[in-house]
Amino acid sequence: MTDSPRIHLGSLLRSSEDAHAEGELNELTYEQGGKTHTLSFASPAFYEVDVNALGGQEMYLQGSFEPTLVMDCARCLRDVEVPMDIKLGTLMRYDPATDIPYLEEADTGEELLVFGDPNLDLSAYLAETTLLAAPLSVLHAPDCKGLCQVCGHDLNEGPCEHMAQVPVEEIDDELGIPEGTVHAKQNPFEALRGLKLPED
């Protein structure tokens, strides 16, 4: 079931026949920057694509992909399931010299998927589209307390001995990790230290 998602475009290239593919994916494995990456899904993710000839070597892909992406909570790193419903719509161009399919920006500013193998592996395309649509960071709960910055204890499970030193309010909502707050800060007079008081 976790075969790579493929669509066969040979007939489309020969005789402009429309192509269709659908299936379910437990994960997506793709190559990027010379490394193999994996996107994991919480449950089998349904995809469906139709490709229509536009003439010449160009075609248009449309369809949908509905993965439930597994991401890390930005504060405590536990798994968070992020259901997504992605509409696919991308221009494509067949270029036999292309080794690995890639996305480029067309003159119109639209994304263009360039590929060279008519038995097209959609893994990288679906992975990139998913990553573009995914939130940058997620929390497993809005009030996640995060991990202790000193010992790594999951503060959602209760306080640790360092708890008093790292007030929850100081956890940065964007990054999840308070920057340099463990040893610095806590001292309300810290901000006054550099302040020159008027001498009279």
Residues that bind Zn ion (CB under 5 A): 73, 75-76, 140, 144, 148, 150-151, 153, 160, 162
Interatomic CA distance for residues 17 and 10, integer angstroms? 9
Residues in the chain: 200
Q: 161 or 190, CB closer to Zn ion?
A: 161
The DSSP code sequence of 54-97 is: EETTEEEEEEEEE-EEEEEBTTT--EEEEE--EEEEEEEEE-TT
Minimum separation from the CB atom of position 51 to Zn ion (A): 40
Q: Which amino acid appears at position 127 of this protein?
A: A
| Helix, strand counts (H, E) of the chain | 2, 10
Q: 104 or 143, CB closer to Zn ion?
A: 143
Q: 92 or 148, CB closer to Zn ion?
A: 148
Minimum separation from the CB atom of position 78 to Zn ion (A): 5
Minimum separation from the CB atom of position 127 to Zn ion (A): 25
Q: 93 or 153, CB closer to Zn ion?
A: 153
